[in-house]
Amino acid sequence: MVLPSLIILVLILLGILFLFSFIPVGLWISALAAGVRVGIFTLVGMRLRRVPPVRIVGPLIKADKAGLEVSSDKLEAHYLAGGNVDRVVDALIAAARANIPLSFERAAAIDLAGRNVLEAVQMSVNPKVIETPTVSAVAKDGIEVKVMARVTVRANIDRLVGGAGEETIIARVGEGIVTTVGSSETHKQVLENPDAISKTVLDKGLDAGTAFEILSIDIADVDVGRNIGAQLQTDQAEADKRIAQAKAEERRAMAVAREQEMKAAVQEMRAKVVEAEAQVPLAMADALREGKLGVMDYYNLQNILADTQMRDAISKLGAEQGPSGGQPGKTK
């Protein structure tokens, strides 16, 4: 009799332990003590829906103590959708304390969109400063100007869903800086009035379509860079020089080719002269054979040729001895 009673007692204890482990009685008691009405069957339903009750009851108690009207069904639905329930409740509490109108549906949508809704609310209260990288721009006089700006922004709750982020703000501010510097006549105007950049950029409404509201744009640093205009002119002059050298080389090659053609033409003419001279003895032989040229005429022609060769030799000898009769190139 004792053994069956002991077994029954153990089974009852195991059933009680299983019941208390499945039903969060302690969490239910904590909710009652905090004045939050959560039914025990509601907690059991959370267990069945694979929702940790502590993830819902804790934020629900926090919201009730802060005076917010949030139901457990909404918190459970947001958790099942993959949202961060605790962060949404903290954002609602921070927005209520800062008098920022923010509904639970709006905060849940921002959280599900992948943005940190609590950080957005904090940024609405305490604006954030975004420092842009150094932006290089060139004024009309060709001098490079390097500008770094600090943009003070405040989160716009209404545009957090679907609004552009910080990267868009930085890109638009950089574009405004390049436009402002590029429209300046000289780089000295930019150095003398850096606030003109801020005014021009602010007037463009760069925060349109973004999740932020630009409060101010402050120029943190302005430096003078390279003389881009002079460098471009130098590069252009170097390119022109190379083009001129290429054209000169082309003309030189054409002149060399023309010279070779003329030398070939001279050699061709010389060959024709030699060929014509070779025909002379044959013509004279034919003339002697036919009786058109006598023997005395032939001897007279030979004497004339000999006399001509002698005169050429005497003239060359005189040229070698020089005008004064000494050695060539020397004077007495």
Nearest Cα to Cα of residue 93 among 114, 122, 56: 122
Tell me what the mean pLDDT of segment 70-81 comes to. Answer: 84
> What are 177's two structure tokens?
């800086």
> What are 67's two structure tokens?
């005076």
Average pLDDT of the chain is 79
pLDDT tens for each residue of 175-232: 888 888 888 888 787 787 777 788 877 777 777 778 888 888 888 888 887 877 777 7
| Contact of 117 with 87, CB cutoff 8 Å | yes
| Contact of 57 with 38, CB cutoff 8 Å | yes
Q: Report the sign of the C-alpha dihedral through residues 188, 194, 195, 200, in that order.
A: positive
| Contact of 61 with 42, CB cutoff 8 Å | no
In the predicted model, is pLDDT for residue 332 greater than 50? no
Domain limits of the chain?
Answer: 13-125, 128-230
Nearest Cα to Cα of residue 173 among 147, 193, 192, 191: 147
- For 186, other C-beta atoms within 10 Å of its C-beta total 13
pLDDT tens for each residue of 290-328: 777 777 777 777 788 788 888 888 887 877 666 555 555
**% of the chain beyond a pLDDT of 70:** 85
CATH class of the 128-230 domain in this structure: alpha beta
In the predicted model, is pLDDT for residue 21 greater than 70? no
Higher pLDDT, 6 or 203: 203
Report the predicted TM-score, pTM, of the whole model to 2 decimal places: 0.54
